[in-house]
């Protein structure tokens, strides 16, 4: 497989269920036992914050092997003023096709599109070491922290336009698109083939990020 074999295109309504199934497969037991990212994908499309022009899938051999979704979010400063930014996730590649550069291609392409469409900055939660290669920096460097007023190593920031966040500091609010009802997520998951929830080592990294949070 060569990276040039990967086709990127916008997600289509007929892709929805397949993307949800693949998202579930990619995230199951990755950060916590089970996952709710497939329910997030399902609900995000229906929110006002969702950015459909940045909803891309990766195609290999005529099949979807990865996708990325974006939503509008904000930084709430200490004066109560909201400053608009962009966030993304889930970003996934099917486990059978990881470590091939597909996720990188999806992210780089969509970030360029976001910049071209006038978005100034992207803030999200993710592995800071992985995302550093795309230019993401710790939120702490910008004075940006979580809604519960913690500096988290997993909170990362990218200015798409130099100086877009100058003079802006405060709490990153992912917004309603990322606020899920746990009971509804469980009910939604019941409509998929049964998978056992359990522990795997990748969950330790998630726990390390939580433990490393520091109050501002």
What is the dotted CATH code of the domain comprising 3-175+203-215? 3.40.630.30
Please report where in the chains the tokens 């599109």 appear, as a residue: 113
Nearest to residue 70, comparing CAs of 40, 27, 39?
Answer: 40
This prediction's pTM: 0.95
Residues of the chain with pLDDT under 50: none
DSSP-assigned states of every residue in the chain: --GGG-EEEE--GGGHHHHHHHHHHHHTTTSSSS--HHHHHHHHTTSTTB-GGG-EEEEETTEEEEEEEEEEEEEE-TTS-EEEEEEEEEEEE-GGGTTSSHHHHHHHHHHHHHHHTT--EEEEES-HHHHGGGT-EEGGGGTEE-TTSEE-TTEEEEESSTTTTTT--EEEE--GGG---HHHHHHHHTTS--------THHHHHHHHHHT-EE-
Structure confidence by residue, pLDDT tens digits, 32-71: 999 999 999 999 999 999 999 999 999 999 999 999 999 9
pLDDT of residue 1: 54
């Amino acid at each position: 497989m060569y990276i040039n074999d990967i086709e990127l295109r916008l997600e289509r309504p007929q892709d929805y269920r397949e993307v949800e199934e693949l998202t579930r497969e990619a995230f199951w037991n990755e950060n916590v036992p089970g996952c709710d990212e497939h329910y997030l994908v399902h609900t995000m499309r229906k929110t006002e914050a969702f950015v459909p022009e940045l909803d891309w899938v990766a195609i290999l051999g005529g099949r979807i092997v990865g996708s990325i979704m974006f939503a509008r979010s904000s930084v709430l400063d200490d004066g109560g003023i909201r400053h608009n930014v962009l966030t993304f996730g889930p970003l996934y590649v099917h486990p059978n096709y990881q470590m091939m550069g597909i996720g990188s291609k999806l992210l780089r392409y969509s970030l360029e599109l976001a910049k071209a469409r006038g978005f100034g900055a992207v803030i999200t939660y993710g592995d800071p070491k992985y995302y550093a290669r795309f230019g993401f920096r710790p939120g702490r460097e910008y004075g940006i922290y979580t809604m519960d007023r913690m500096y988290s190593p997993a909170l990362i920031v990218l200015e798409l336009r130099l100086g877009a966040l100058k003079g802006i500091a405060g709490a990153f609010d992912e917004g309603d698109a990322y606020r899920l009802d746990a009971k509804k997520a469980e009910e939604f998951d019941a409509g998929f083939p049964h998978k056992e929830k359990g522990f795997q080592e990748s969950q330790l990294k998630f726990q390390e990020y939580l433990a490393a949070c520091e109050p501002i």
